[in-house]
Structure 1
């Protein structure tokens, strides 16, 4: 099958479109015909080797953990899905090798749920990783309650935009940091926007003089330091970007595959509670451009790579 892969760590130029081995379908996995795969910051961080201390890499590595597509072959022990079922998945294994930037992916059952019927394949591909991250942090770690005030950083980004919607759905007041040109977007999600950068602490204090009940940090560094001073005495602080959060009495979190959580997100999307904003799509052979755009860190919502089956799969050159 055709797939994007890299044979060594490096910049976007190491990504190449070519033939790789067809995936084997385990007894508790399903073979998914990929229609779309979202790009996440963790993808380029893995490509550059920043996750080498956490995950073994079996080169060549096919990148990508998010997917939407159609089941074409259930494993021999699978009764949960049938051929033709539309699914979404956060297809993360405990090593880097068999990703979703490909024509097909063999996805373990623990990574899958049914696709929301009201979302396109492109929108659905953008839901799993960011949705699970926001859902797990807000409901299981921060345990946000109705009436609390939650500060969400990078509120217009992939994780942030999900977190704003979910926190508002939980009945919280949501303050979200974003650049000024994204303020209306954050308001549309249910948040109160504040501009990040110098003076952030004073701007947040202006909205929440007594401090905030919970902080969802997606940035780290100075933003995390400022956030620690904004938490109310009994408040909570979680970061998905900076392990130094523990020095401020907070907790670091890394999203986990969970089929029940993913099913709940699909239900919320179908109910109109969650929407996925896709800022730009790229054909499979332009995955390097998608990585470059993601690495710039200024994307509103999600970047998605699309497998165009009607065109007989993408061709053309890849890389620089």
Structure 2
């Protein structure tokens, strides 16, 4: 079986994606299922995380979000039958690439795909759905009447997060970094409380949010990266990110800040401000569900609910047109360099 892998090189900046032919398919164990892959979503590979958990390899498999049809089941499989349509996320320690015609996977990483949901939409939504649920449900407990600020709302993740927050009855404010993104959100979600276009520096984030909340601040902030300090040689994308002080000042009393910044550093004045507000900071790492089996049942419930909301139209993902397998290498290079604005999905 041929699959796509990232060949590790001495330079971390190099991206060398190659198709490798595997000699044999993994043995079908008691609780595993054999799946014919129909679609696979591409996502940035966090090599630093893999290194920290001692999972460095010469060849890293590409594509963990997969959807397909069950071909064969192990003797103790209880959730699925042959011909079932399924979707799921391969574990971090998977040896197999999702960009493979047939793979073997444990049944506890899969859920049923609704019939009326297309293969690309299923794989293009499932991971961002997990991230959104982790951030807004488990870390910040979004509820009706709360105000939520979602940074970069036109990104694939931001789009799903906005839709989940609105579905839970929250008032949503979002930032965008281009006129095209603003127009996209206005078409997709006209009920947003406010869209703040930061591309030209015309709007002050703090002033706009405090005006929208009557000076009370925002209950939940979900960032897309922050500036820890100002430096002279900042790139344009770094300059558009909010400063950590601005985010803390925007928080309401008892507010929650959910950050994607893994190297966040807070100074004593920042911590003092958080203490006075009784506010909290949480780190968004959706991989925690796969790093521990303690809450496997909750994880599967999340996956099932994501598919249900996708089927009912609550979730409308920001997807690019599906691409064929022979274009996967080029598309993955764009994804790894953060040059792909929409979710990239390969249809097999």
- The TM-score, its normalising length taken from structure 1, stands at 0.85
The structure number with the bigger radius of gyration is 2
* 1:312 alignment counterpart: none
Per-residue deviation at 1:97?
Answer: 3.1
Mark the CA change 1:57 to 1:28 in structure 2 (over 3 Å): closer, same or farther: farther
More deviation in 144-153 or 194-203? 194-203
Q: What are structure 2's unaligned runs of at least 5 residues?
A: 228-240, 272-279, 291-298
1:228-254 CA-partner distances (Å, limit 9, x unpaired): 221112100111343417776411121
1:77-116 CA-partner distances (Å, limit 9, x unpaired): 10211111111102123x3532312222222222211113
* 2:253 alignment counterpart: 233
Between the aligned partners of 2:247 and 2:27, the Cα distance in structure 1 is 46
1:182-213 CA-partner distances (Å, limit 9, x unpaired): 11322323533212365333333332332110
More deviation in 293-302 or 213-222? 293-302
1:276-295 CA-partner distances (Å, limit 9, x unpaired): 23123322232232123324
Contact 2:148 2:221 in 1 (8 A): yes
* Superposition pairs of residues 62-101 of structure 1, within 5 angstroms: 62-93=61-92, 95=93, 97-101=95-99
Q: Alignment partner of 2:62: what SS?
A: coil
Q: Alignment partner of 2:344: what SS?
A: strand
Q: Alignment partner of 2:52: what SS?
A: coil
Per-residue deviation at 1:146?
Answer: 0.2
Correspondence for 1:173 among 171, 174, 177: 171
Between the aligned partners of 2:303 and 2:162, the Cα distance in structure 1 is 18
* Superposition pairs of residues 193-232 of structure 1, within 5 angstroms: 193-196=195-198, 198=201, 199-208=204-213, 209-221=215-227, 222-223=241-242, 225=244, 226-232=246-252
Between the aligned partners of 1:272 and 1:124, the Cα distance in structure 2 is 12
Contact 1:15 1:287 in 2 (8 A): no
Per-residue deviation at 1:141?
Answer: 1.1
* 2:230 alignment counterpart: none
Between the aligned partners of 1:178 and 1:55, the Cα distance in structure 2 is 37
Contact 2:42 2:62 in 1 (8 A): no
Q: How many pairs does the alignment contain? A: 302
Question: Does the alignment pair 1:253 with 2:249?
Answer: no
Between the aligned partners of 1:11 and 1:37, the Cα distance in structure 2 is 24
Between the aligned partners of 1:11 and 1:26, the Cα distance in structure 2 is 38
Contact 2:128 2:156 in 1 (8 A): yes
Mark the CA change 1:55 to 1:65 in structure 2 (over 3 Å): closer, same or farther: farther
* 1:23 alignment counterpart: 26
Q: What are structure 1's unaligned runs of at least 5 residues?
A: 308-320
Between the aligned partners of 2:95 and 2:57, the Cα distance in structure 1 is 5
1:152-180 CA-partner distances (Å, limit 9, x unpaired): 11211121111000000000011111122
Contact 1:39 1:66 in 2 (8 A): yes
Per-residue deviation at 1:5?
Answer: 1.2
Q: Alignment partner of 2:114: what SS?
A: coil
* 1:118 alignment counterpart: 116
* 2:52 alignment counterpart: 53
Correspondence for 2:100 among 99, 102, 105: 102
* 2:306 alignment counterpart: 265
1:245-279 CA-partner distances (Å, limit 9, x unpaired): 77764111211252111001111111111122312
* 2:143 alignment counterpart: 145
Q: Alignment partner of 1:165: what SS?
A: helix
